Amino acid sequence: MTYSELISQIEHVAKQLKAQDIKALALRAENSIHWAVVDLAAMSADVVVVPIPTFFSDAQVLHTLEQSCVDALVGDWQTWLTAHTEQNKITSPSSLSIAHLPLLRRQSVGQKAYLAGTGKITFTSGSTGQPKGVCLSYEHLGNVAQSLALTVQGHAQSHFVLLPLSTLLENITGLYVPLLLGVTSSILPAEQTGLLGSNQFDPHRFASALATIKPESLVLTPALLLALIQIAKQQPNLTKSLSFIAVGGARVSEQLIKAAQALDLPVFEGYGLSECGSVVCLNTPSDFKIGTCGKPLPHTKVRLAQDGELLVKGNTALGYLNEPFTQQWLATGDLAQIDEQGFVSLLGRKKNLVITLYGRNVSPEWIESEAMAFLPTVPLIVTGDHQQALCAVAKRHKNIEHEIAKLNSTLPDYAQIRTLLLLDNPAAISAWFTDNGKPKRQNIEQDVEHLLKRKTNNFTWERQNIQRVEVPVCHTHAHFQTAS
């Protein structure tokens, strides 16, 4: 689609939105140019957009709809609605469409009292399972995109959208920034890119897409960078076109960056969060320091609190739903260092969060508390920081694998337990617990990381007989086809 064709589509859909008197819409669909048109048309028509990732669990989708009070649903909703009572709030037939995506009108429950200036509400995946709505103005989104565009200008003429557009990072870097720079953005459905859900990945499909598109820029999570490194080792010609690869969503190890550089992959770590409109810091070819997430973008400032927490100014959202941000400096919850040149290095989270290699924040206490319904007498210790999937340490118990599978069926895919380490008695490992029995999570994370590197599934450690069990993936909801 050319730029002039895109403008025409945006104007047409914006008129449709106004004619339908839509105030706020929930956009739930796989990546497609139709997704992009709806998003941009809503911006033009001053309609609030609530992007909903297709990897959200059923409970998270319901929570998001209830919190955001949207009056329209656009995209892949029909199958989902068939299985939920939410369909009772639909007020129009399913024959309507907008930008080739199905449109349903919804009777919102509650009053839409958005923070003044709200244009987009992005829901984080939620460290406790309940997504939290971050209210962003279109002016703020424009400032972030413009700042990024100035920072990366001249480094790439074509971008390949790999991450879901429903995530704020790719929404800005894969749609807004290319438009500001006047470059090409290739948007394909997940079935062609290889990224299914939030952490299911098919490297063969990804390699095929690279061969077809030959992009110059990508935005990746650390886990996807690992996949790209393997492709570069086996088929180096597929990565020759790349000139700028931004990596974020979770802390990137210095070793991973070096491994990529050794293969001539132009990888640059960045850092951001939804509460700051996505990207805050970024390395670039002209301003790069390995082991850091770069310098702040031109429109923002950073400093450290006394306890080392990173604070951000000039790049903050309006607030959470019904909870405006009033502080001048936003506390990020991340511990960091800032060197004399202004490069920012992340040290870890203040709160006790697990951040997977796919950039998903998960509270281990959330999973552990959910597990009590299935294994009330067998406490779990959930780990997985900087790992591709979650692991649970537990005492051996009859039918534990079956119960974990049932637990997984209630969780979004990124929060499912994929590996079990079954011990005779975890409580006997004194280094893992405080005197009052609370887990020392840092110690456990470090030990589990080493235990997972063992080559056998049955071994002895710390006088404990340990069995490693892999738990099959549980698909908690259907994947929808992209509308044509």
| Mean pLDDT, the chain cut into blocks of 10 residues (484 residues total) | 97 97 96 98 97 87 90 90 71 82 83 87 73 93 96 96 96 97 96 82 94 97 90 96 92 84 96 95 95 94 94 93 94 92 87 84 83 85 92 94 93 93 93 79 93 94 94 60 30
Q: What is the C-alpha separation between 116 and 113, in angstroms, rounded?
A: 9
Residue 57: per-residue pLDDT: 80
Distance CA 155, CA 153 (A): 6
Largest distance between two CA atoms of the chain: 71
B/e letters for 101-115, b = 16+ CB within 10 Å, e = fewer, are bbbbbbebeeeeebb
Residue reference for tokens 């809503």: 42
How many residues comprise the chain?
484
In the CATH hierarchy, which fold is given to the domain comprising 3-112? Rossmann fold (3.40.50)
What is the pairing mode between strands 354-355 and 361-362? antiparallel
- Same topology, domains 138-349 and 363-470? Answer is no
Could you state, in order of their start, the residue ranges of all structural domains in the chain?
Answer: 3-112, 138-349, 363-470
Domain 363-470 has CATH 3.40.50.300: no
Identify whether the C-beta of residue 392 lies closer than 8 Å to the C-beta of residue 421: yes
Fold of 138-349: Rossmann fold (3.40.50)
CB 201 within 8 A of CB 359: no
For 43, 266, 289, 333, the CA distances from 283, given in Å and listed in that order, are 29, 11, 7, 21
In the numeric block, which tokens belong to residue 288? 């790069």
Cα separation, 374 vs 365, whole angstroms: 15
Tokens of 337: 């260092």
Q: What is the pLDDT of residue 478?
A: 34
Strand 24-28, strand 48-51: pairing = parallel
Output the six-digit token pair for 251. 């802390």
